[in-house]
Structure 1
Amino acid sequence: MRNNAVVTTSAAAPHPEPAHPRPRLVATDLDGTLLRDDKSVSPRTVAALAAAEEAGIEVFFVTGRPARWMDVVSAHVHGHGLAICGNGAAVVDLHGGPGEHRFVKLRAMERETAVDVVELLRAAVPGTKFAVERTGGLCYEPAYPPLHMDPALITAPAEKLLAEDSDQADQPILKLLAHHGELSPDEFLALARAAVGPHAEVTRSSPTALLEISAPGVSKASTLALCCEERGIRAEEVVAFGDMPNDVEMLSWAGRSYAMGNAHPDVIAAAWGRTVANNDDGVAVIIEQLIAEARA
């Protein structure tokens, strides 16, 4: 039996309820949003994504994941084959299968900026451990926990990982990761944002105290806006879905946006409406409604 969403409009959402134009693009986060907790894409969701593309609604996956973790949805990108990865740091062509993903747009962090961020956070939040996400893979400090068992290209102090003469210096920096073993996730996020200020964008998507740090001005929202501008798609023609703080800007930017039933409170406040949880196919529920509206 299918679960049917009771879609509500958030009283705290920044968008008043408008007469929505026909959607031209769906932008969806993956973990906790499109994917079920077991990291699968349900048959209902697969069918909804295909139906959206057939109806002329482009689907973009917009995620904090690196390109190498995108195999879970590579089979569902349909014609365009593009995804926004690393919280906006890269636009990736997912065609070609595992190991064949191609970067088509990079919004990398300057090495000097990354060094500054490490220094600021070390001083403001002692106990912070770092990892560096580059186009070629992940490097991290010896005490940084490999939360996803991602093998490191190299393990060394962050200052060495970011040195001009490091073995990975020719690979663009997509983002920094910062972990703290004692602070709560939201407490760590608040302290880091205060410490880093305008030097970088700091957000989180993990249930642990793991922060994701991008170049100034780089976010899911800003890169999605660039991709939409290239396609002549307006913000009000975009429908977005998310569940964690790294989705807030995207949900605020899109003309119509939905927090998942399992979403963080900040996401619920930012979104125009709310759907059911990821394990109940909340994205598919809304896409089915959008297609029904377009056919009416």
Structure 2
Amino acid sequence: MRENGSVTSATGQAPAVPAVQPRLIATDLDGTLLRDDKSVSDRTIAALAAAERAGIEVFFVTGRPARWMDVVSDHVHGHGLAICANGAAVVDLHAGGRIVEVRPLARPAALDAVRTLRTAAPGTSFAVELTTGIHYEAAYPPFFLDPGASVAPAEKLLHETAAGGAAPVLKVLAHHPELSPDAFLALARTAVGGGASITRSSPTALLEISGAGVSKASTLELCCAERSIDPSEVVAFGDMPNDIEMLSWAGTSYAMGNAHPDVLAAASGRTVANNEDGVAVVIERILQGL
């Protein structure tokens, strides 16, 4: 909810500011930090740098793979780390996006999810995101940013000829040409159950399937524990269902003005839309109070 172009609490009352001085800012990228044209505004760049100078670490936490992090790689400061693939990978952007930690989706669990969704939602097509790149089925919407991807049935893409001999699976993507995004998500979560984590970040019926318990929130929690940072010292930003766990975990969280209704309900505060530099608006307010 807008208040004089700034931020409000989730109930729309007094402007929302963290109750505890923050030590870490965790922000989603697409639809949140990035504008719709995938740029980072000068105002946002300045706000991120100011936060780091004030001793507040900034973590980019995204569904993007490491190879798509060039849009923000110049704006990571001291630690150089980002959380990618919805928590399945921690990457070092100072080292060209090198993956330093993996929380994989086990291939048997991935195969179970694929087979279950083929039955529960006929017409679903799949892509498989590995640590080495993405590959997809012929019916899956093509990845023009990944021209080197191979095309084959998901069962073949997930086949492992020797135990431990294949690249780890970060996530499986499932696309349906007719179902609504939220209906597809609800159906998939019910059908697959607890064998995998399923979420979405696209405006289309495109689901992202990760290992059980893997999410932006759970990997961020691990990174914070390594730094002795309490959830109350974390400020998080997001706009889509794959951000909900992170926004619920963080001591202070903001849904963007353009956020999904479920995200608005999960966050403790709201800021303006991504195209209005909503993340920068909040960071500036936080720094004014230090």
Q: Establish whether TM, by shorter chain, passes 0.5.
A: yes
Aligned-pair CA distance for 1:102: 1.0
**Alignment of 1:81 onto 2:77:** no
* Aligned with 1:245 (options 241, 246, 258): 241
**Alignment of 1:257 onto 2:253:** yes
**Alignment of 1:109 onto 2:117:** no
Q: Distance in 1 between matches of 2:173 and 2:146?
A: 13
Q: Distance in 1 between matches of 2:165 and 2:142?
A: 21
**Alignment of 1:59 onto 2:58:** yes
Specify the code of the residue in structure 1 equivalent to 2:71. V
Aligned-pair CA distance for 1:41: 0.3
Specify the code of the residue in structure 2 equivalent to 1:85. C
**Any conservation in 1 of the 2:114–2:154 contact (CA below 8 Å)?**
yes
Aligned-pair CA distance for 1:18: 9.3
Aligned-pair CA distance for 1:4: 5.9
Aligned-pair CA distance for 1:151: 2.5
Partner deviation per Cα, 1:43-71 (whole Å, 9 max, x = no partner): 00000000000000000000000000000
**Any conservation in 1 of the 2:83–2:91 contact (CA below 8 Å)?**
yes
Residue 5 of structure 1 is matched in structure 2 by 5
Q: Distance in 2 between matches of 1:258 and 1:178?
A: 28
Residue 140 of structure 1 is matched in structure 2 by 136
Q: Distance in 2 between matches of 1:276 and 1:228?
A: 27
Residue 38 of structure 2 is matched in structure 1 by 39
**Any conservation in 2 of the 1:64–1:205 contact (CA below 8 Å)?**
yes
**Alignment of 1:199 onto 2:195:** yes
1:169 to 1:177, Cα distance in 2 relative to 1, 3 A:
farther
**Any conservation in 2 of the 1:198–1:216 contact (CA below 8 Å)?**
yes
Q: Distance in 1 between matches of 2:216 and 2:144?
A: 22
Query: Aligned pair count?
Result: 284
**Any conservation in 2 of the 1:5–1:282 contact (CA below 8 Å)?**
no
**Any conservation in 2 of the 1:162–1:169 contact (CA below 8 Å)?**
no
Residue 23 of structure 1 is matched in structure 2 by 22
Q: Distance in 2 between matches of 1:82 and 1:219?
A: 16
Query: TM-score, structure 1 length as denominator?
Result: 0.92
Partner deviation per Cα, 1:149-169 (whole Å, 9 max, x = no partner): 432531100110011129x95
Residue 90 of structure 1 is matched in structure 2 by 89
Partner deviation per Cα, 1:163-207 (whole Å, 9 max, x = no partner): 1129x9521000000000011111111111111110111100000
1:214 to 1:291, Cα distance in 2 relative to 1, 3 A:
same
1:21 to 1:158, Cα distance in 2 relative to 1, 3 A:
same
Residue 284 of structure 1 is matched in structure 2 by 280
**Any conservation in 2 of the 1:138–1:151 contact (CA below 8 Å)?**
no
1:152 to 1:189, Cα distance in 2 relative to 1, 3 A:
farther
Partner deviation per Cα, 1:214-245 (whole Å, 9 max, x = no partner): 00000000000000000000000000000000
Residue 210 of structure 1 is matched in structure 2 by 206
1:189 to 1:148, Cα distance in 2 relative to 1, 3 A:
farther
Which 5+ residue runs of structure 2 have no aligned equivalent?
Answer: none
Partner deviation per Cα, 1:136-158 (whole Å, 9 max, x = no partner): 00010111012554325311001
Please identify runs of 4+ aligned residues in structure 1 that moved more than 4 A: none
Which 5+ residue runs of structure 1 have no aligned equivalent?
Answer: none
Specify the code of the residue in structure 2 equivalent to 1:271. A
Q: Secondary structure at the match of 2:69?
A: helix
Q: Secondary structure at the match of 2:184?
A: helix
Percent of paired sites with the same residue = 70
Aligned-pair CA distance for 1:104: 1.1
Specify the code of the residue in structure 2 equivalent to 1:87. N
Indicate the RMSD between aligned Cα atoms, in angstroms.
1.8
Q: Distance in 2 between matches of 1:248 and 1:241?
A: 10
Specify the code of the residue in structure 2 equivalent to 1:43. D
**Any conservation in 1 of the 2:198–2:207 contact (CA below 8 Å)?**
yes
Q: Secondary structure at the match of 1:72?
A: coil
Aligned-pair CA distance for 1:11: 3.4
**Any conservation in 2 of the 1:107–1:215 contact (CA below 8 Å)?**
yes
Q: Distance in 2 between matches of 1:141 and 1:42?
A: 36
1:119 to 1:272, Cα distance in 2 relative to 1, 3 A:
same
**Alignment of 1:170 onto 2:169:** no
